[in-house]
Amino acid sequence: MNKKIIFAILIAFGAFAGGCQNKQDNTDKKTETKDVAPKASLSVSTVKPQQTLLHKTINANGNVAAWQESSISAETNGLLLREVLVNIGDQVKRGQVLARFAAATIETDIAQMQANIAEAQAMLTEASSNANRARSIQDSGALSKQQIEQYITAEATAKARLNASQANLNAQNIRLKQTAVLAPDDGIISQNPATVGTVYAAGQELFRLIRKGRIEWRADLTSADISQIKTGMKARITLPDGSSTHGKVRTIAPSVDAKTRNAVVFVDMPAGSAKIGMFARGDFVIGETNSLTLPNSAIVMRDGFAYVMQVESNHKIKQTKVQLGQRKDDRVEILNLAATDANFVESGGAFLADGDSVRVISK
């Protein structure tokens, strides 16, 4: 009887001990589960914001145009264009012959005028002789006063005819010179509508010339920005193919367009650096400033906004919306960065989200 009682007590004690052990094991497992750190989703390298010297600029758009473009036209009327000696893009010098008109008709007219002058000269000689004889005998009474006046008048008429003939000859000589179309200045031929064999009227355009080969960028600036631009200020101009060149402000328009409220700034460009009519973007350097920047690879664009991925002390990501400023080489200005000494994901931020855990790799 006693043995049965002892055996039952031993079985109950064993069951109690087993239950306590199982409870302890479960508690240890729960504790262990709580202590396990979340698994990192990505290994990243970090970078801190840097102070970078940036140029303070004003951006503008505009067209490339000729500094001055001369229109070269026919000076004579009704002549046939015989030859054209230049093409578009040719560089020419002041006084260089660009084209020639047929001069045969003018040369014929000149020969006729020369004959008229010879005839007028002979008539003047005869009239002068008659007038001189009349004057010498006017006191003798051999000729009436009326006859004497007729001889003197004939002499004056002959002089006038000679002068008119000489004037006509000079006019024809001028026309003969005008059959050669000359460059009014050094420059580059930008347009060449002249066609051999065409009869041109006076004033009809034959060529267009970019004077001195000078070109300029005509930048449109708002009323708010125009006051910050000064003559002589430097500008960096970006052309449609991505290349860039530099220019200098020559002058500023004295008025603002009443419709657009924009003013034009005329910027001298190096000759041959761009083509007339090109659209170009540019910026004017108005000062320098030290600004916080991050590498371009650290910027993540989402839904049209810019973000940076800040790595917090617990290795979790904090997605921060930022406003971007200027760019210099591979760095971007951050305008509203509050955590100036924080660590940010250097690259690969597009694969991360707010709250993700990362493993930081030392450089």
- Compute the distance between CA of residue 276 and CA of residue 190 in angstroms, rounded to an integer: 9
Q: Phi, psi at residue 345, to the nearest 5°?
A: -65, 125
pTM of the model: 0.60
Spatial CA neighbour of 230 closest among 277, 284, 311: 284
Three-state SS for 175-223 is HHHHCEEECCCCEEEEECCCCCCCEECCCCEEEEEEECCCEEEEEEEEH
Nearest 5°: phi and psi at 277? 95, -10
The C-alpha R_g of the chain, in whole angstroms, comes to 48
Backbone φ and ψ for 285, nearest 5 degrees, come out as -85, 115
Cα 113 from chain centroid (whole Å): 54
Nearest in space to 318 (alpha carbons), one of 305, 303, 308: 308
* Angle, helices 104-136/145-178, rounded to nearest 10 degrees: 160
CB 79 within 8 A of CB 105: yes
**Could you write out the DSSP letters of every residue in 124-141?**
HHHHHHHHHHHHHTTTTT
Strands 279-295 and 262-269, sheet pairing? unpaired
Q: Domains in the chain, ordered, with CATH?
A: 42-58+290-360 (2.40.420.20), 60-67+214-279 (2.40.30.170), 68-102+181-213 (2.40.50.100), 104-178 (1.10.287.470)
Residue 221 CA to residue 77 CA, distance in Å, equals 45
d(CA 66, CA 25): 89
Per-residue pLDDT tens, the chain, 363 aa: give them: 445 555 445 455 454 444 444 444 444 444 444 444 455 568 889 999 998 888 788 899 999 999 999 999 999 899 999 999 999 999 999 999 999 999 999 999 999 999 999 999 999 998 998 888 888 877 777 777 788 888 889 899 999 999 999 999 999 999 999 999 999 999 999 999 999 999 999 999 999 999 999 999 999 999 889 989 999 999 999 999 989 999 999 999 999 999 989 999 999 999 889 999 999 999 998 888 888 999 999 999 998 899 999 999 898 999 999 999 888 888 999 988 888 888 999 998 888 888 889 888 876
3-state SS assignment for residue 351: helix
Position 33 scores a pLDDT of 42
Sequence-ordered alpha helix ranges (H) in 49-144: 104-136
Token pair, residue 218, equals: 């005509």
